[in-house]
Every structure is written in structure tokens, then in C-alpha cells.
Amino acid sequence: MLPILLLLLPVLSPAAAWIPVEDWESGNVTASVGESDQCVCHVYLPDTTFPADRVYHMQQVSKDLILDVDIQMNKLVSYGGKLEIYLKDLQDLTVRVAMLESSPDSYIKLDFELLRIELREFEALVSQLKDSLNSSSPMFDSLYTEIQNMTLIVNQLETYDKSNLEVIRIEFAKLQRKLEECQKDQEFIKPDIGNCNHTGIMSLSKPTVVQLNAHLNSGYEYGGWGKDSKPLRGYESMYFYGAYTNPSVHDFYLYSDYETLILRSAFKHHDIPNGWEGSGNNYIVHGNTIYYQINTPFSMSKLNLTSSKYDYRVIPAASQKFSYSYSDKQNLDFAADENGLWVMYASVESKGKIVLAKIDEKSFGIAKEWKTGVFKQMAGNAFMACGVMYATRSVDLNTEEIYYAFNTKTRTEKHLNIRFQKFQEKYSNLHYNPTDQKLYMYNNGYYVSYNVRFNRE
């Protein structure tokens, strides 16, 4: 059979397939034989072809319309979310205005002005939403009415605010007196940094309770905070903090200064790796290094805050049987003062009494030891200041007492009765810092500090 070649003249557009064969006129189809004995059919389409170009145009228009609809829908969703936020804030404002209505005399002029500013902002936001949607609705009308009503209430309440001026004067006078007392207290115990020409601690200031720990959780009752007792240049203002729900040590936070500590904005977080976790909470930072206790093996450990290098040293005589009265596992207690770095522990040989040891910072070993007369389990905690070890104990729920001192220079001990206030009954970390002559206490989840006054007679 001869091959058949179908030629469409003119060239058929895709729309030609839509024309039924029975609609073709017989005169529009002719046949002939080509040069290569091929059968060639010629089909001539009528003038009434399908309007494919118009269909294509309609398709493009439809796509553009669909895209516009999607954009408008997204706007509606966005405005809906914003409107929910504005409604919630407006409800909060309604509550605040109701509080003003109930006791207008307890608020000052600034409160009213702030409310008026916020009401004006809400009115502008509602107008913006209304313009964006290019429509009006009962919801917008209701919002406008509520905002206007609250504005009237605030303006009326402010007219009854005359008594606040006298209240403010009284409160300001009270605050001024407190500031003067605080200033006198600070001058009374003005520190003489680095000077140990005294006969020991005379008294402590009232406790300064900074705030709840950086976790904002009172369940973190174990831990410690404070400053580097021998800071590197540029880190004099650095603070450290670590807290846990049990007497363990598994991470530390570092803050560049006091403000970042309060704002809980740490510049570094050390997460202690497996095998180096500690126990007890009597750790300190000294020379850009954190010294703390580990249990496997039971030894003193240190972490360099710059290199993140760990090291440990075993104290053969130290025992895990003796801890302070407020917390378990406080077997090794690290301290620092004007004379260097120290560690305190109890042993079986000392029959549970505290052994004071001077640490050689270079070799990380024990340079010298002194036996004291303090039973560790009877003490709340202990610290060093100018080469003297001081031990504390509880007097009552709100009072602590420095009751014992051991002087390493004279090898003499003394019984004292220096009482100071506690914020809460128990605490897990108490240490002295020679750079500001303050005691830092981690008191049941709170940052607490004391100024130390020495007897310089």
C-alpha cells in the first residue's frame, strides 16, 4: 500500500480539531498523487475558525483575577489576626479603666495620660483597618463607640485626681528618707579593698535581695552566684550564676555586668559534659576559672572559662560523709580571699571537723592545711576573708550568726556572735569576694548580698 501524506493548507491551528468532519464541505477536500507516488489530501478550512486567541486571553484574565482574589483573602486573614490582637488589648484597657473607676484617688496624672495615648492609638488602628478593608461593619462601629466611651471616662476620672498630689509628696518623702538611710549605711561600711589591716569582721549590712534566679523559678533552690574573685582585665564586672533543683552542678551562665544579670541576658553558657558533672553548690569563680566538686572520682575540679579545659585533683583525706546542715553533698567548699584560693572539707581523721586547705593555683594541689574546731555538720556554711575562716549557723528562721573564726596566720580560733538577717531560712552557697568586700549568698533561689564591715581599730 502506498504511504499517505496528509497536508493541511493552510496550517491547521489546534482549534481545527474541534470542527466535525461532517461539517466539512465536499468542495473543500481534494486529492492528488505526488511526485513519489504518494497520495496527498488537501483540506481547506472555512473562514469561521474557532477563536483560540480570545480563549487564551480569557484564560489569562481568569488567572489574574484568581491571583487578585488570593491577595485579598490573605489581607483579610492578616487583618483578622490583627483585629484579634487589638480586641484583646482593648479588653485589657477596659479592665484598667474599670480599676480607675473603682479607686481613682490611687492613680497619678501619668496613668491617665498613658491611657489617653493608648486610646488614641487604638482609634487610629481601627481607622487604618477600616480604610484597608474599604468597608464598614457593626464591629468597627462598636469599637469606635467603646473607645470614645473609655476616653470620656478617663477624662472624668482625672478631675477627681486632686488628692494624688499630696499622696505623691508623702510617698516621695518616704522614699527620700530610705535613700538617705541606705546612703548612710553604705558610708558606714565603706570598703577598703585589699586592706587586711584589721582584727576581723565586725558586722554585716542588711541583706540586699536582688531578685529571683535567672530561671524565674523558686524550684531552683540549689546553686550559687557572684563575681570573679580575681578577674582578668576586662572582666571585672562579670557575674556568674548556676542553679538546679537538687544539689548538683551541670551548667553555668556568665553575664558581662550587673545589668545583664538582672535582665537574664548571659553572654556565655557552659553546659558541663558527661563525666564532669558536679555535686554540692559551694563553687566559686577565681582567675577566670570555676572551681567545683565532682564525685567520679570524688575530687575538686576546675573549668577554665576561656579554653573550656577541665581538670581535677583528688584529696585523699576528704570524706563524702560530712556536709553542711542546710544541704546534702556539700563536701568540698571552695573560697577565695585577699590571700588566694582555699578549699574546706571534713575527714574521718578530723572526726568531722573542718579542715582548711590552701590551694596552689599553678599545680592545682594542696599547699598547706589547718585543722579547725568546727564540726561541719553543725555549720550552715563557711567562708574566707583575709586569711581567716568564718563559720555560720542558724539562730532562727530569719537570723544567721557568724559564730566561729580561725586565723591561719596565728593558728588561733575565736568564738563570735555576729548576727545578720536572712531572706529565707536555708541557703546553699555563701562566699566572700575580696574585690568588693561583699558576701554573696544564694538563698533558696534568690540572689542575696551583704556588705562586710571590718574592725579597723
**pLDDT number for residue 84:** 63
Average pLDDT over residues 53-60: 64
What are the backbone angles phi and psi of residue 339, rounded to the nearest 5°?
A: -100, -5
**pLDDT number for residue 15:** 41
pLDDT digits (tens, 9 = 90+) for 119-172: 666 666 666 666 655 556 666 666 667 667 767 766 666 565 455 545 545 555
CB of 351 closer than 8 Å to CB of 361: no
pLDDT digits (tens, 9 = 90+) for 90-124: 666 666 666 655 655 545 555 556 666 666 666 66
**pLDDT number for residue 10:** 42
**DSSP-derived secondary structure for 367-406:** EEEEEEEEEGGG-SEEEEETTEEEEEEEEETTEEEEEEEE
Mean pLDDT taken over the chain: 79
Q: What cell numbers appear for 139 in the block? A: 464591629
DSSP β-bridge partners for residue 421: 399
- Provide the pLDDT confidence category of residue 89 given band limits of 50, 70 and 90: low
Angle at 414 between CA 412 and CA 416, to 5 degrees: 160
pLDDT digits (tens, 9 = 90+) for 369-389: 999 999 999 999 999 999 999
Instruction: Look at 216 and 371; give whichever has higher pLDDT.
Output: 371
Question: Is the pLDDT confidence value at 8 over 50?
Answer: no
pTM of the predicted protein model: 0.61
